[in-house]
Structure 1
Amino acid sequence: MKTSRLNKEIVIECAMELVDESGINGLRLNKIAERLEVKSPSLYTHTGSITELRHTVVGRAMEEFRAQLVDALLGRANLCAFVELGKSWVTYAKKKNDFYIVFYQKEYFLFH
């Protein structure tokens, strides 16, 4: 995936894909650099440390999860809202399991 203009958003999206594939502990700057076909040092301008990037990626995933939960509740004012909320919760947990598990790890749970 050769990129002509590297920016923070491209790096974050790539990092999120890598977490989906290999979990939060599998997220490495050298893997991102390899996938984006750039040198690792060029990523520091856009990411800071790997710890900062992990927090950013987990924060983004939490935002997406919250948005899905809100979407499940919109327009519903009765028991169906709770059913839809539960369905959305389970769907996310299955589809994005690596992120879902990280949400409950102390270092990320307290951060967001």
Structure 2
Amino acid sequence: MARLNITEQTPGQFVVEGALTFSSIDKKTVKSFNFLKSAERICIDLQKVETTDSAGLALMIEWIKQSKLYNTELAFKNIPQQLLALAKLSGFDANEYLADATD
């Protein structure tokens, strides 16, 4: 099983490495949203994501919800094509967080 790691590179800049899948996302991952409170602006870089499934999209949606609760400006970069395809299938690609990436 590929592990999921979220690492802060610089203040407000995080890199996600590994798999965004049902087998790698667990309760610990879901409960670890405190990083979204660490800065007024957070950027999550997904370039090092190896594989993803609908659980990865669900996690991104949850990050968006939580960032709104914390009044944190959230951005994603280097969103994997596989994740963009899932977003398109679900109609989530029109969301402001993904709209630029799907053009």
The normalised TM-score by structure 2 is 0.30
**TM-score, length-normalised on structure 1?**
0.29
Q: Which has the larger radius of gyration?
A: 1
User: Which is helix-richer, 1 or 2?
Assistant: 1
